[in-house]
Structure 1
Amino acid sequence: MYKILAKLNKLLLPSFTKRGLDLAKAKKWQMAIIAWRYYVTTNALKN
């Protein structure tokens, strides 16, 4: 399930690292997206 979510994240959600986003200056909604992508990616790698 997490592998499918990871693929959807890659397609649908923006990649802030490619845009050069500074985490110290990130807005709350950007931090929420980063946290969600991190959670899904780590769980996809565990399974």
Structure 2
Amino acid sequence: MSSDILHEKTKGNLESDEARFLDQTLSTLKLNFVDEFGNPSTPFVNGELA
């Protein structure tokens, strides 16, 4: 997942509070994606938003 690339590229370059914020934000983003992916009213084509 491309969000994992962001995490990897910033590894070691962030203060602890920045790293924690990034981790929380990426986790929330992933959970929101899973929630929307499971929502039948969200238009997905081949696993991507239409």
User: TM-score when scaled to structure 2?
Assistant: 0.47
Looking at secondary structure, tell me which structure has more strand per residue. Answer: 2
